[in-house]
């Protein structure tokens, strides 16, 4: 469906169950427990930072967690696309009683006029206003809205959405703004949502749910909708394992408490950043643990070979050719030729194959290079065996998997000033 340009954005409204949630420590007995908790915590912390940055009240947190539970339990009301949009609009207009139409407190919401404009737009009735006129009028008023900042908000007029097209008088600027905005929404919905409604059932569903949305008591419907969707997604993905990893089982209780702690800023066991790092490192270990083990085994055997030297840091090297020039310092810039492979011989990068040397500062590369190149006089060619902790560690780097041991043949061509 084409994206609606004007339609009010809100969420399916559901009444909060009124539960009370508190931040608390939880027992994390194993990796599976920690992963579930961390997943909830990192998402809760991010929501607090972004979606709830303007309202992190306990009421909003409660609405979200209630919705999360409903989504996971499969207790979310299923609506058609038309019904969902209708519910969204009803809830948005309900909220506009407090915030004003289009979040301008100077534009008092007149539900009767807005909904009449909406219905007339659905039916393409041009008696009061045409679509282009409505669009131009509303956009002009919206752009000039700052001029109305000092205007006292008018009285909210309540009403419900009816099905019948009707010609109405627009006696004030506020009337015209309400009607124009309603008409634009109706015109968009008719063209992109109800275009194939040959029986009128979708239109009926749409308007019915507008009126249901008007009766909702939810404070933050977008957060509620997000909670329901996340809960549904967790349940739907449960069979595939947590985050799609079959070795990790979903524990919704821990995920839920993680969300609560993240939303309430509780960091006693871990904060959002630590949770994100834990998830990434654990998933890397699960997926690439054998890469790390294979690298450690390779290095243990390699250091026993004749000509291989192991430094205190764990870097291994052997001299292919010893030059007679000056050794670079950590602050120097050098020019080198290199050929890099994994321990299975896979080439991941090679200036030799490209036929062009490269230059860089010694303090701008991985630790293994920084240390190793300081051992080389200009004109030397060494082979480095770099443990993963002196390479890219848990991070993937292009075609290099996390925890990879790296092998480089490096020729130091010059020190550049």
User: Domain-by-domain residue ranges, the chain?
Assistant: 1-270, 309-416
Nearest to 110 by CA among 173, 55, 18, 163: 173
pLDDT tens digits along 162-207: 999 999 999 999 999 999 999 999 999 999 999 999 999 999 999 9
pTM above 0.75, yes or no: no
pLDDT score of 17: 42
pLDDT score of 174: 93
Ramachandran region, residue 92 (left: φ > 0; alpha: ψ -120 to 50; beta: rest): alpha
Spatial distance between the Cα atoms of 386 and 338, rounded to a whole number of angstroms? 14
pLDDT score of 313: 97
Q: Are strands 406-416 and 333-342 parallel, antiparallel or unpaired?
A: antiparallel
Phi–psi pair at 324, nearest 5 degrees: -120, 5
Residue 320 host element (H or E): strand 316-321
What is the CA 332 to chain-centroid distance, rounded? 40
pLDDT tens digits along 215-240: 988 888 889 999 999 999 999 999 99
**Cα–Cα distances in angstroms (integers) from residue 155 to residues 152, 275, 285, in the given order:** 10, 48, 61
Active site residue ranges: 338, 348-349, 366, 392, 408
Strand partners, 317: 309, 384
Contacts of residue 381, defined as CB under 8 A and 6 or more positions apart, other chains included, come to 319, 320, 321, 323, 409, 410, 411, 412
CB-CB contact of 270 with 79 (8 Å): no
pLDDT score of 3: 43
Residue 221 DSSP SS3: helix
Environment class of 280 (CB within 10 Å of its CB; exposed 0-12, middle 13-18, buried 19+)? middle
pLDDT score of 13: 31
Spatial distance between the Cα atoms of 324 and 365, rounded to a whole number of angstroms? 24
pLDDT score of 16: 35
User: For domain 309-416, which CATH number applies: 3.40.50.720, 3.40.50.10740, 1.10.3720.10, 3.10.50.40?
Assistant: 3.10.50.40
pLDDT score of 112: 96
pLDDT score of 98: 86
Contacts of residue 265, defined as CB under 8 A and 6 or more positions apart, other chains included, come to 23, 45, 48
pLDDT score of 14: 32
Q: Which residues of the chain have pLDDT under 70?
A: 1-18, 146-153
pLDDT score of 152: 61
pLDDT score of 2: 41
Q: How many residues does the chain have?
A: 417
């Amino acid at each position: 469906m084409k994206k609606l340009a004007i339609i009010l954005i809100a969420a399916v409204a559901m009444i909060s169950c009124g539960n009370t949630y508190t931040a608390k420590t939880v027992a994390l007995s194993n990796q599976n427990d920690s992963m579930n908790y961390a997943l909830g915590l990192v998402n809760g912390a991010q929501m607090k930072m972004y979606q709830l940055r303007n309202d992190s009240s306990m009421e909003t947190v409660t609405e979200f967690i209630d919705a999360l539970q409903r989504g996971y339990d499969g207790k979310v009301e299923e609506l058609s696309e038309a019904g969902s949009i209708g519910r969204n609009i009803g809830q948005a207009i309900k909220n506009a009683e407090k915030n004003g139409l289009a979040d301008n407190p100077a534009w008092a919401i007149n539900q009767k006029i807005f909904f009449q404009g909406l219905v007339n737009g659905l039916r393409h009735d041009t008696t009061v206003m045409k679509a282009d006129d409505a669009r131009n009028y509303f956009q002009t008023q919206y752009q000039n809205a700052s001029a109305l900042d000092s205007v006292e908000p008018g009285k909210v007029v309540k009403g419900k959405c009816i099905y019948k097209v009707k010609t109405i008088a627009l006696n004030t600027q506020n009337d015209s703004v309400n009607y124009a905005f309603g008409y634009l929404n109706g015109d968009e919905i008719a063209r992109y949502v109800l275009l194939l409604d040959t029986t009128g059932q979708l239109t009926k569903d749409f308007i019915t749910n507008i009126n249901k949305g008007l009766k909702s008591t939810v404070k933050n419907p977008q957060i509620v909708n997000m909670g329901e969707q996340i809960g549904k997604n967790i349940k739907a993905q449960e069979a595939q394992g947590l985050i799609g990893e079959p070795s990790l089982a979903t524990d919704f209780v821990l995920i839920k408490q993680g969300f609560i702690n993240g939303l309430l800023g509780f960091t006693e066991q871990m904060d959002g950043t630590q949770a994100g790092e834990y998830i990434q490192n654990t998933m890397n270990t699960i997926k690439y643990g054998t890469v790390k083990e294979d690298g450690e085994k390779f290095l243990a055997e390699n250091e026993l070979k004749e000509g291989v030297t192991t430094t205190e840091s764990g870097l291994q090297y052997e001299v292919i050719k010893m030059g007679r020039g000056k050794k670079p310092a950590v602050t120097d810039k050098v020019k080198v030729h290199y050929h890099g492979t994994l321990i299975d011989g896979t080439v991941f990068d090679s200036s030799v194959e490209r036929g062009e040397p490269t230059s860089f500062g010694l303090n701008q590369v991985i630790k293994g290079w920084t240390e190793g190149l300081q051992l080389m006089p200009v004109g030397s060619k060494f082979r480095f065996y770099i443990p993963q902790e002196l390479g890219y560690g848990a991070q993937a780097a292009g075609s290099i998997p996390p925890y990879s041991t790296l092998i480089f043949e490096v020729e130091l061509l010059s020190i550049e000033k």
